[in-house]
Chain A
Amino acid sequence: MSQAHRPDSAGRGDIVVSARNLTKKFGDFTAVDAISFQVRAGESFGLLGPNGAGKSTTMRMIGGVSRRTSGELAIMGLDPDRHGPEIRAHLGVVPQQDNLDQELRVRDNLIVYGRYFGLPHSYLRPKADELLEFAQLADKARAKVDALSGGMKRRLTIARSLVNDPRMLLLDEPTTGLDPQARHILWDRLFRLKESGVTLILTTHYMDEAEQLCDRLIVVDKGRIMAEGSPAALIREHSTREVLELRFGSERNAAVAAELGGIGERQEALPDRVLIYADDGEAALEQVSGRGLRPLTSLVRRSSLEDVFLRLTGRSLID
């Protein structure tokens, strides 16, 4: 991999983000509460948590656009308080809310944005075409941004974030609000970037997204880190292999849950269903039938990060 002409970029495996007791307060409210983590070059790192957990605030501090209240933070070894422009020059940022320039055409959005990195037109013109190809928007180059669908705008925002060929990409809720097909196209593009060695740091409240894209993640709630690890390790550590989901009707779920004692490792009674955590879901279902209980529906599935989150916080990811 040719790094010769990029003396100031990190090699694979180097620590590119290091946070220690990172804290952000807004008045009396503590949005990020003394969190510590590290991200290595080439890694795909996720912040998983519900809305308001402090994910975006953390991302904004990493992105060099919000000052920390206390703690230590280094991006590419640089302090964002003193080297904001240098840090931002290293990054590609995909914000939660699209902020494309609606007054410009699709291709011009890429070129104008690239100019803010001091890049010459002679580089940006062919680069814009290349990125439009990557984002599957080549036929929309001269279209107005307004005419694009939500998924297309998102892809354009991602293309825009790549204009400076960043080695690290910050993605804040990259697929929120997109339909399933658009999400899969986007994941595919992000996966290609990951394969090419770009460090991805993303926030999401979608567990499937975290499972698809993240090598390692932190589960965040109320500004604190609840757990850290790879998706598989987190599931192993905090959940069983399988989950049996039973629905007895919203009136009866809680009452029936009381009769399920001893089946599986533990149970969770939610308003709309009862979850039984067991390594063998089918066997647990047989035990339920054996007790003469007849659920309206039953489903055996593998444990997901949603279960991890539920276990750690007692709450569901999407309220």
Chain B
Amino acid sequence: MTEIRRTTNNAAGTAGGLPARDGLRPPLSPLESAARVRRLGSLYVLEHWLRAMRGYGWTVLLTAVGTPLVYLFAMGVGLAALVDANTGAGGVPLGAGRAVPYLVFVAPALLATAAIMVAAEENTYPVMSGFKWRRTYYGPQATPLASRQLVNGHCLGVLCRLLLTCGLYFLFLLLFGAVPEASGWAMIPTAALGGFAFGLPLMAYASGIEDEKGQFALVQRFVVMPLFLFSGTFFPLEAMPPAVRWFGWISPLWHSTELGRVAGYGQVEPAWLTVLRVCYLALLAAAGWLLARRVYARRLGT
């Protein structure tokens, strides 16, 4: 790192300080500074994001630890006892005479749902806060940072939180004995991908809102909750009437859940379908990302 220079042009005296002349001078010229921010701007946003998170880090951690405990006891232990006792075949049938305990069946879905919940939270109120409530986007706007780097940095921050949440969730799944396959860890990245597939389009939507009049509560109630309930989370999608199965097909949660099941207990499906699911989730995420960058650029002008 370049050394820091202190000029000693002291003619005007130092009382009160004259930072522009007598103070510390930055080690980078403006053009060097702009070039550096072009390369690393997104990481500075991430740094800001993590620093701000220290204020509510405990909430994040408690949610990440508490949620799996509550759901695993309720669904994985309580509901599972009922289901396993009544399916006869030793759990949820997989076809070809195989079956898995209900806990194992529901575990990847719960983890994928946790990712969706985090994505829903991080891509609504904080976005509105940046543009309107706390106007935190307008500080960086005046710096060399570009608006697309705000989007990217935000995504990096959300990625950190998704990996933390899903990682902890996965540890609890292991403790509860809910992951029979060694490849089970792969449900962490697939759940995170599902989080982005849902979160980035939501971010684009949230960034376009000028006035929040309860839209986010509606999203929570009429998008997130139905996703949670009807994406093959608690029962296979095939158990739903054919007329409403389409909801699962378009649901990013269903696809990330199914990917988690392939990884977690070896649910059998054709390879092309697995690839298709990954592509679909990636496509949703990419579309949301591009759209969000456009909206940010329009609103911030940078």
Contact = CB atoms under 8 A, between A and B. Distances in A.
Interface stretch (A113-121, A239-247, A290-298): A113-121
Given A101-B134, A101-B139, A123-B27, A116 B144 contact: yes
Nearest to A88: B144
A177 interface: no
A119 B302 contact: no
Interface stretch (A11-19, A126-134, A255-263): A126-134
A181 interface: no
Contact of A85 (B21, B44, B146): B146
A193 B18 CA distance: 7
Nearest to B15: A192
B236 interface: no
A112 B51 CA distance: 9
B52 A88 contact: no
| Contact-residue bracket for chain A | 35 or more
A115 B47 contact: yes
A222 interface: no
A17 to B, nearest CB: 15
B30 A90 contact: yes
Interface in B141-192: 141-146
A26 B135 CA distance: 22
Contacts of A90: 30
A99 B20 contact: no
Nearest to B140: A116
A35 to B, nearest CB: 19
Given A117-B26, A123-B26, A85 B142 contact: no
B48 A192 contact: no
A86 B34 contact: yes
B33 A118 contact: yes
A66 B26 CA distance: 27
Contacts of A7: 29
Contacts of B142: 63, 65, 88, 91, 93, 95, 161
Given A1-B9, A65-B301, A85 B34 contact: yes
Interface stretch (A46-54, A102-110, A224-232, A271-279): A102-110
A6 B144 contact: no
A113 B143 contact: yes
B49 to A, nearest CB: 10
Given A116-B41, A116-B145, A122-B4, A5 B29 contact: yes
Interface string B263-302: 0000000000000000000000000000000000000111
Contacts of A195: 12, 18
Nearest to A116: B143
Interface residues of B, number: 52
Contacts of A63: 142
Given A8-B31, A89-B37, A196 B12 contact: yes
A76 B22 CA distance: 23
A164 interface: yes
Contact of A192 (B18, B47, B143, B300): B18
A249 interface: no
Contact of A118 (B18, B36, B51, B134): B36
A116 B44 contact: yes
Contacts of B32: 118
Given A8-B30, A112-B48, A120 B23 contact: no
Contacts of A66: 301
B136 A84 contact: no
A298 to B, nearest CB: 41
A47 B165 CA distance: 51
A165 B19 contact: yes
Contact of A164 (B26, B140, B302): B26
A178 to B, nearest CB: 19
Contacts of B300: 65
B62 interface: no
Contact of B19 (A8, A86, A100, A131): A131
A193 B12 CA distance: 11
Nearest to B22: A196
Given A8-B30, A95-B142, A118 B37 contact: yes
A187 to B, nearest CB: 13
A67 interface: yes
Nearest to A194: B20
Interface in B115-151: 134-136, 138-146
Given A122-B1, A134-B16, 15 more contacts: A8-B30, A65-B142, A97-B138, A104-B55, A108-B51, A112-B48, A115-B48, A118-B28, A118-B34, A119-B26, A126-B4, A131-B23, A134-B19, A134-B23, A196-B18
Interface of B: 1, 4-5, 7, 9, 12, 16-38, 40-41, 44, 47-48, 51-52, 55, 134-136, 138-146, 300-302
Interface of A: 1-2, 5-9, 60, 63-67, 84-86, 88-91, 93, 95, 97, 99-104, 108, 112-113, 115-120, 122-123, 126-127, 130-131, 133-134, 160-162, 164-167, 192-193, 195-198
20 contacts: A1-B9, A63-B142, A65-B300, A85-B38, A85-B145, A90-B30, A95-B138, A103-B52, A103-B134, A104-B55, A112-B47, A118-B32, A119-B27, A122-B1, A122-B4, A123-B27, A133-B17, A193-B20, A195-B18, A196-B12
8 tightest CB-CB pairs across the interface, nearest first? A118-B36, A116-B143, A93-B142, A85-B144, A89-B30, A89-B34, A196-B21, A99-B135
